[in-house]
Amino acid sequence: MGSPLLPELEPLAFLLGVWRGTGLGEYPTVERFSYEEQLEFANVGKPYLTYQQRSWVLRDGERLPSHMEFAFWRPRPEGSVEVISAHPNGVAEIEIGNVDGSRVTLHSLRLVTSPSAKEVVRLERDFVVRGDSLVYDVRMEAVQQLLRPHLHAELLRTA
């Protein structure tokens, strides 16, 4: 038996589970790419959810390990949420936003990059869940570009 879900996590309960699917990536400075993703939102019995994401770029019949993320989703009163994330490309960020039914919109409040990271200035994300389907979009302001789409993915809940 897992830990019971604390009442403050109920507005985020629609995210719980393991999600798998595929996405399309783009940015003005890179070639379009497709990727596979596994995403898990889990309850650990504390007033946050853990979020772990792994992705694999699909190129020329190969499946190459790509981006990962580890984060904590902290619900706040009145539908707001704080997300604390670490990325392997040298980015650490705090995103804030809102949960409205089964739609989440987030934007980075603080984003810092390590000395060797590429320039990343801002991220924005939208997640929409309908039953066992999760669709998300990520927009990014980075490497001297304006805020532009980077990712779009459609995942299904598997567990």
- 156 closest CA partner among 136, 137, 127, 132: 132
Q: Which of 83, 91, 104, 106 binds ligand HEM (CB under 6 A)?
A: 91
* Residue 148 interacts with ligand HEM (CB under 6 A): yes or no: no
* Residue 120 interacts with ligand HEM (CB under 6 A): yes or no: yes
* Residue 34 interacts with ligand HEM (CB under 6 A): yes or no: no
Residue 50 · residue 29 · CB < 8 Å: no
Q: Identity (one letter) of the amino acid at 111?
A: L
Q: Which of 57, 92, 94, 96 binds ligand HEM (CB under 6 A)?
A: 57
Q: Cα(134)–Cα(151) distance, rounded to whole angstroms?
A: 14
* Residue 6 interacts with ligand HEM (CB under 6 A): yes or no: no
- 55 closest CA partner among 43, 72, 68: 68
Q: Which of 29, 34, 114, 158 binds ligand HEM (CB under 6 A)?
A: 29
CB-nearer residue toward ligand HEM: 12 or 83: 83
* Residue 72 interacts with ligand HEM (CB under 6 A): yes or no: no
Query: What DSSP letter does each residue of 119-130 carry, written as one string?
Result: PEEEEEEEEEEE
Q: Which of 66, 84, 128, 154 binds ligand HEM (CB under 6 A)?
A: 66
